[in-house]
Structure 1
Amino acid sequence: MASQLGISRPIKVLVVDDSAFMRKVVSEMLEEADDIEVIDKARNGIDALRKIETDEPDVITLDVEMPKMDGLEFLQKLPELIGKNIPVIMLSSLTTKQSKTTIKALELGAIDFVAKPSGSISLDIDQVKQELIEKVRIAAGAKSKLAKISKTFSRTLKPVKKRVISTKKITAKPSISTRATGLTKLVVIGSSTGGPRALKEVVTLLPEDLDAAVLIVQHMPPGFTTSLAQRLDKLSDIRVKEAAEGDRLEKGLALLAPGDYHMTIENGQVKLNQNPKVHNVRPAVDVTMESIAYDYNSNTVGVILTGMGKDGAEGMKLIRDNGGKTIGQDEETCVVYGMPKVAYEIGGVEVVKPIDRIAEEIVRMVNS
């Protein structure tokens, strides 16, 4: 497997966790894979920085909360002190506090995260093990691209500067109930691995008076989508919320599909369901895109961002075949060039843009 990712030797992993038990469990899970080698363990961020100087790993697994230097501070210090771009997989428990911290970690450059199971880890150890091994492999394959991607995203670590200019003077965000409900245009955005950081780059640059409703589907488990929506809402001029059954599409409102629920649109309203997974994920981008492609046809803008697999490819093609406009993120700025690549290959992508140019392209398409 490592050779398929362009690595001729085992993937070297540094496990960072303040719990000796978790360091042992995570290491044992990873070393069950023939192509992964745990080269060292660290008890906090400071310890990890010292060990990286001795032997640089291909991937780091990182606990969220640790004494002396936690996960967020470590992510900030890694390029500052070490000058290296090493892919990081976060390990987060299913608590509100840790999910919010994990979303910030993804903004700071962590490739992905694995949600620790609630209760005893032994209850879901096989599921966690397979997910962790798969994500470490994906992260190792993305290592060579991180320097360029980090440069593209570097300004988003500072207060966001709006480059997409609104036609209105932006004041406080109005409540949903006071917004105009007349709606003719709809933007649908799909993303997976690397998505939270990419979504921040896109959504925070959309103007408050965007003449369209927005739907977002990010592959993410329950709880984390709540934190992601809250974070995007805090940073954006448009309003962002986790979608709920019966929510209506409104201009300047972005609805994020909740974890473990497919999101469809019927008569301008959100419908949520737990039908079987599509492409082994729920929510699935294709489910949402296919539910709106015929009704909104030429008034639709489909956007597919970084992610593994092919979810969203058929939905993008359906949008385009029905007269809508579509945008795919380019390979150079994708953490994983999977979903946009497949969409492009089957004819579902009309325009290819780097992540820092997608928001202005959305606005152009909505206004054209």
Structure 2
Amino acid sequence: MDNESCSPATKNQHYIVGIGASAGGLEAIEAFFKHMPNIAGLSFVVIQHLSPHYKSLMAELLSKHTRMPVKRIEDGMVIEPDCIYLITPSKNVTVFHNKLLLVEQDHSKNINLPIDLFLRSLAEDAREKAVGIILSGTGSDGTRGIRAIKEYGGMVMVQDESTAKFDGMPKNAFATGLADFCLPPEKMPAQLLAFVKHPYATLQEKKFSSG
């Protein structure tokens, strides 16, 4: 899995999709990637809440639902299209100049919010090419992150809380009023691809249909 190659990076910056999930997120993540084409020119960074001592099987499980390479993040990795990157237990992840940077989690000060941290850095680095997706989970991690995504001109999707195993994160994210789309995970890929193809037209269409 980790040694598979992604699509070569292009001269034009591609869309980077940050996916935040916590409790109950595995099913949502699998449903999302089961419906996501393997070659679409997008990169995916999955940020979960993981116990420091937990051996995540996400790479193995996800590989059953997608043919995209699934990579565990290593410090300094360049983000390439058509590839899925997974957070490492006990680490936080940020992105700078299209590279993934790892830092040890610090639990001595405040509660650790890895999704907010990553999405804020993604917003600053990718700007209008940033997409933030919030899936099942408890608490409010991701809410500040999607605010940053919108401030820099990116797009936000939130799981329809009625389809989430745990609705805390989707509910808090949706309550900001900043979500461009609220959908079940299996319907997100089609909407995401429509947006990437025609960003302005897709958001305008959503605006008029919801108005």
TM-score by length of structure 1 reads 0.49
The residue matched to 1:323 in structure 2 has which SS?
coil
**Count of matched residue positions in the alignment of Structure 1 and Structure 2:** 193
Which of 111, 115, 121 is the equivalent residue of 1:280?
Answer: 111
User: How far did residue 228 of structure 1 move?
Assistant: 0.7
**Structure 2 stretches of 5 or more lacking a match?**
199-211
- Pair 1:318-2:148 in alignment: yes
Q: Say if 1:226 and 1:242, in contact at 8 Å, map to a contact too.
A: no
CA contact (8 A) 1:264 1:272 kept: yes
Shift of 1:239: 1.5
Return the offset for 1:225.
5.8
- Find the aligned partners of 2:116 and 2:33 in 1 and give their Cα distance: 20
In 1, are the aligned partners of 2:98 and 2:125 still within 8 Å (CA)? no
Larger radius of gyration: 1
Aligned partners of 2:196, 2:100: CA distance in 1, in Å? 21
SS in structure 2 at match of 1:234: coil
Which residue in 1 is equivalent to 2:209? none
1:291 to 117, 121, 128: 121
**Which of the pair has the greater relative contact order for Cα pairs under 8 Å at 6+ separation?**
2
Q: CA deviation at 1:295?
A: 2.0
What is the letter of the counterpart of residue 15 of structure 2? K
Are the counterparts in 1 of residues 96 and 125 from structure 2 also a CA contact under 8 Å? no
Using the TM superposition, give the Cα deviation of residue 223 of structure 1 relative to its aligned residue in structure 2, in angstroms.
6.4
Within-5 A mapping of 1:131-280: 175-176=4-5, 179-182=7-10, 183-222=13-52, 224=54, 226-277=56-107, 280=111
- 1:280 offset after TM fit, Å? 2.8
Report sequence identity in percent: 25
For 1:360, the equivalent position in structure 2 comes to 190
C-alpha displacement of 1:242? 1.3
Shift of 1:286: 0.5
- What is the alpha-carbon distance in structure 2 between the residues aligned to residue 312 and residue 195 of structure 1? 13
Give the secondary-structure state (helix, strand or coil) at the position aligned to 1:295.
helix
Alpha carbon RMSD of aligned pairs, Å? 2.0
Per-residue CA deviations over 1:223-269 (Å, capped at 9, x if unaligned) read: 65641122212321222121111211000011011111101111211
In proportion to residue count, which structure has more helix? 1
Where do residues 342-361 of structure 1 align in structure 2 (5 Å cutoff)? 342-361=172-191
